[in-house]
Amino acid sequence: VTNIPFLDLGAAYQELRDELDAAYHRVMKSGWFILGAEVEAFEEEFATYCNVKHCIGVGNGLDAISLLLKANDIGPGDEVIVPANTFIATWFAVSQVGAEPVPVEPDPETYNIDVERVEAAVSTRTKAIVAVHLYGQPADMSSLSEIANRHNLLLFEDAAQAHGATYFGKKTGGLSHGAAFSFYPGKNLGAFGDGGAVTTNDTNLAEKIKVLRNYGAREKYHHLIQGCNSRLDELQAAFLRVRLGILDQWNDRRKAIAARYLDSLGGSSLVLPRLLKGCDPVWHLFVVRTNNRDLLIKRLAQIGVTTQIHYPISPHMQPAYQVLNSSKDRLPISEFLQQTVLSLPIGPHLSMDGVEKVVSSIYQLLEEA
């Protein structure tokens, strides 16, 4: 019987075991755990990787987004345009600074924000757009920056799912005023705990976020502003330096799997993701659409293939955003996606044999259906 996990994090450790263990011992022996040499080195290395001037390590991806907004004085009374189809963190970051998330429907084929619908959502209170490179595919950043320029809005990236993806040859993280990354363990660049980062070319913004993440202090016990505590720790930074060294290689493995899926599932009834011109996605997720979802999930699980749904409930339908629930037909495309999307297994440790197994099982099950 097959065992194809959705993502194999144990295998990620095994492949890098010696280097990760060495990183662990290096930090433990140093006796220094918060804001030290490892974080500084990782910040420099990740900034270089993203081809930006600054990287600031923070506690997690959610904080990375909210710190970007806060550092740009976005708060109560302001509106921020967000994708309707995203992980809820994008919305929470806006709500947490006291601003209002204004959702815009996705393009049903790329799953990313539909740029044709963005301008209709701009009001006199709109301050920014947070683009999300969902599932690892960059959003249509040139259209978004045109709109942002036209209406004098700030443009940010939520790059939590897109470490290493490029848009017309330029890396995500450097495609806007500032970008947020998550290093949650399952991400393409994942830590072994929580972690996140902000990248930007704006030196003032970088300085402000550095102060905000550390109790509003540049110097211990001298608090310039009311900041928070959101710091990447030394241990996670040391692990991330190891993972960064192999990121491109592991992204290439994901790309090969995605290419195989795209190639071999073309003859099935599944709707496959469409790639936007100029995008080189890193396939954090491989998301298809199907009307036979429940059956596929159940039958695949029976033969040992784990799938997931990203996301089963759109943010506007969540109890956390009850206020918006009254107008349930407001975001029909997102709701249609939430009912039909299915994420197939993908990751650097999924073998091509495993991929073939998933593909042949899908054909067989769809035929039965």
Among 85, 90, 110, 199, binds ligand PLP (CB under 6 A): 90
283 binds ligand PLP (CB under 6 A): no
CB of 310 to ligand PLP, least distance (A): 8
Residue 239 touches ligand PLP, criterion: CB under 6 A: no
Binding segment toward ligand PLP, per CB under 6 A, in 83-91, 253-261, 285-293, 351-359? 83-91
Mask for 2-41, x = binds ligand PLP (CB under 6 A) = ----------------------------------------
3-state SS of the chain is CCCECCCCHHHHHHHCHHHHHHHHHHHHHHCCCECCHHHHHHHHHHHHHHCCCEEEEECCHHHHHHHHHHHCCCCCCCEEEEECCCCCHHHHHHHHCCCEEEEECECCCCCCECHHHCHHHCCCCEEEEEEECHHHCCCCHHHHHHHHHHCCCEEEEECCCCCCCEECCEECCCCCCEEEEECCCCCCCCCCCCCEEEEECCHHHHHHHHHHHECCEEECCEECCCCCECCCEHHHHHHHHHHHHCHHHHHHHHHHHHHHHHHHCCCCCCECCCCCCCEECCCCCEEEECCCHHHHHHHHHHCCECCECCCCCCHHHCHHHHHHHCCHHHCHHHHHHHHHEEEECCCCCCCHHHHHHHHHHHHHHHHHC
**C-alpha angle 231-233-234 in degrees, rounded to nearest 5:** 140
CB of 284 to ligand PLP, least distance (A): 8
CB of 282 to ligand PLP, least distance (A): 13
Under the binding rule (CB under 6 A), the answer on residue 230 touching ligand PLP is no
Q: How far is the CB of 311 from ligand PLP (least distance, A)?
A: 9
If the CB atoms of residues 296 and 337 are measured against ligand PLP, the closer one turns out to be 337
Of the listed pieces 18-26, 84-92, 101-109, 286-294, which binds ligand PLP according to CB under 6 A?
84-92
- Is 61 near ligand PLP (CB under 6 A)? yes
Q: Provide, rounded to whole angstroms, the least separation between the CB of residue 194 and ligand PLP.
A: 6
Q: Which of 97, 129, 160, 333 binds ligand PLP (CB under 6 A)?
A: 160
Candidates 158-166, 198-206, 219-227, 301-309: pick the segment binding ligand PLP (CB under 6 A): 158-166
Nearer to ligand PLP, 82 or 265 (CB): 82
Q: Nearest approach, Cβ of 63 to ligand PLP (angstroms)?
A: 7
Residue 137 lies near ligand PLP (rule: CB under 6 A) = no
Residues that bind ligand PLP (CB under 6 A): 60-62, 86-87, 89-90, 132, 158, 160-161, 182, 184, 194, 196
